[in-house]
Every structure is written in structure tokens, then in C-alpha cells.
Amino acid sequence: MKTGVMVQSVERAIAIFRCFTEEKPDLRLKDIAGELGLNKSTVHGLLNTLKHYDFLQQDEETQKYRLGLAFLDISSRILNSMDIRMVAHSIIRDLCAKTDETIHLVVMEGTDVVYIDKQEPCQSIRLFTSIGMRYPAYVTGVGKAIIAYKPSNDWMKYLPPKLTRLTANTITDFQTMLEHLAQIRQRGYALDKEENLEGLSCVAAPILDHHNRVNAAISISGPSYRITEDRIPAFANDVIAAARQISIQLGYQDSEYIAKQTATPPSH
């Protein structure tokens, strides 16, 4: 909800940025003007200003605009200022080397998880995930690990109004999901067994801060034929240990942490 005084030119600049998507990374002046419902002369002035400050680039041949390098500079500074990313980076790098699988670090935003770091091994098959991507928390191991370690009375706050089916394995019943979260809390780690993307599985554990709060998690992810039932206990122990290491460096004091949980194969 908007509050206070809103500056129209700033609102329009933000609207311009939001015109650019993965599907439409390059746009002409007329495309942007049409999407915003503004005349070309107004939009042209805004585009020139944003281009001057490197928030937009323009191809001299096609005259199309795209997001500029200023965003890269700002996003790098934001990521570098995030304590959890700096603390976790070497730990998830070591976890990647040990498991030879992709490691993700995420934080929670609303009912989604956002990927803020990733370490990838030299495997022939790699994951297409990237920093900045977001997914509904309920279909990911990292998201379920975060929700499960929040107060159980608040679990519904972190689930969307409808649990949409993304694959044949997606949990779409709320009662089943709540029981599933309780199991995750009890054993100390979460699984995503092709609930978000077919062929992709992961094992995840939550990260706690110095206030004993959880808003982040890490996961070991890979093709389902590599994240197999017989390997899950070892992966669970590894990801719990790494999450515990990050948590302690963030100031978490409980020496028992979640590592007191013995990683056992999930019940069927």
C-alpha cells in the first residue's frame, strides 16, 4: 500500500524498469510507451535520463533499450552487504566440493524464497538456477526448511492461499503440508523430491541467527538420479552440519542446534 508523498517521475522510472523481463530484455521506445500508456515524448525524456546514469543501455543499431550496468553495481553492493552471504560463502563452497552437487543459499521473502548465492560443481549436468531467482517456498526444500522452523502457529502465514500443483509430487493439501512441516521440524532437514521441477531433488536445512530466528536455508540440489534414497542420509548430515556452522557464525548460541537430530531416511 502506498503511503506518504509519491513522486510521479520516480514512479514512472520504476514502471519502466518493470517493463523489462527475461522474456522481453530489449524494448523499443514505442513498446515502453505503449505498455505505460504514456506519450513517446514523455517516455523519451525519462529514458534519456536513465541512460545518462547507466540504468539503461541503448543499442545504436536497433535503438532498443535494455537494463544497464548500474543495476549490476548496485546489486553487487547489496549482496556484499548481506552478512549471511559473506558468512556462508566459504562454507557452501566447501560443501559443494565435498558433495560434488549444487549448493543453494536462500532467504525468505513473503511466501517465496529468493536465491542469494550458489556454488556449482564441475558436473556434466548443471542446474539452471541463478542468483535472484525466486520460487514459492512450499514447493522447495529450502522453503519448507525455513517454514518448519518458524513457530507452528505461523506456518499458514508463509503458505499461499492455494497450493498450486507444479508437478505430480507437489503437496497441494494444507493438512498434508502441515503434517509434512512437523516431520521436517522433528528430523532437522527438508526434502524436495521433484515437487517444484521434474527430475530435480534436494536436501535442505535451516539457518538460525543470533535471535534464534530462521529466515534462510541451504540445500544440496541435483538431478534425482543423483539425489537418491540411499544418499539422502549422508547428504542430510552434510547440509545440517553446514547450516549449523553458518548459524553459529551468525551468533546462534544453542550448541545442540538441529544437529542433535540424527539424519534418517524419510518415512514413506
125 plus 33 within the same structural domain: no
CATH number of the domain where residue 189 is located: 3.30.450.40
What burial class does residue 91 get, using C-beta atoms within 10 Å of its C-beta: 0-12 exposed, 13-18 middle, 19+ buried?
buried
153 plus 111 within the same structural domain: yes
67 plus 93 within the same structural domain: no
> Tens of pLDDT along 106-163?
999 999 999 999 998 876 556 667 788 889 999 999 999 999 999 999 999 999 999 9
Report whether 171 contacts 163 (CB < 8 A). Answer: yes
User: For residue 171, which of 146, 186, 190 has the smallest C-alpha distance?
Assistant: 190
Tell me if 2 is assigned to some domain.
Answer: no
Tell me if 42 is assigned to some domain.
Answer: yes
Domain range spanning residue 195?
Answer: 82-249
**CB-CB neighbours of 180 under 10 Å:** 19
Tell me if 179 is assigned to some domain.
Answer: yes
pLDDT at site 83 = 77
Report whether 140 contacts 169 (CB < 8 A). Answer: no
23 plus 64 within the same structural domain: yes
**CB-CB neighbours of 50 under 10 Å:** 20
Q: Which residues of the chain have pLDDT under 50?
A: 1, 81, 258-268
pLDDT at site 3 = 56
Strand partners, 114: 107, 134
User: For residue 101, which of 130, 134, 123 has the smallest C-alpha distance?
Assistant: 123
Tell me if 12 is assigned to some domain.
Answer: yes
Distance, CA of 204 to chain centre: 13
Tell me if 96 is assigned to some domain.
Answer: yes
- Domain stops at, among 18, 44, 72: 72
pLDDT at site 79 = 59
CA distances from 169 to 104, 112, 153, 197 (A): 21, 19, 25, 9
- Domain stops at, among 24, 52, 72: 72
CATH number of the domain where residue 21 is located: 1.10.10.10
Q: Tell me the one-letter amino acid at 193.
A: K
pLDDT at site 265 = 38
Tell me if 238 is assigned to some domain.
Answer: yes
146 plus 227 within the same structural domain: yes
Q: In total, how many domains does the chain have?
A: 2
Cα dihedral sign for 159, 202, 118, 198? negative
Q: Is the pTM of this model over 0.85?
A: no
63 plus 192 within the same structural domain: no
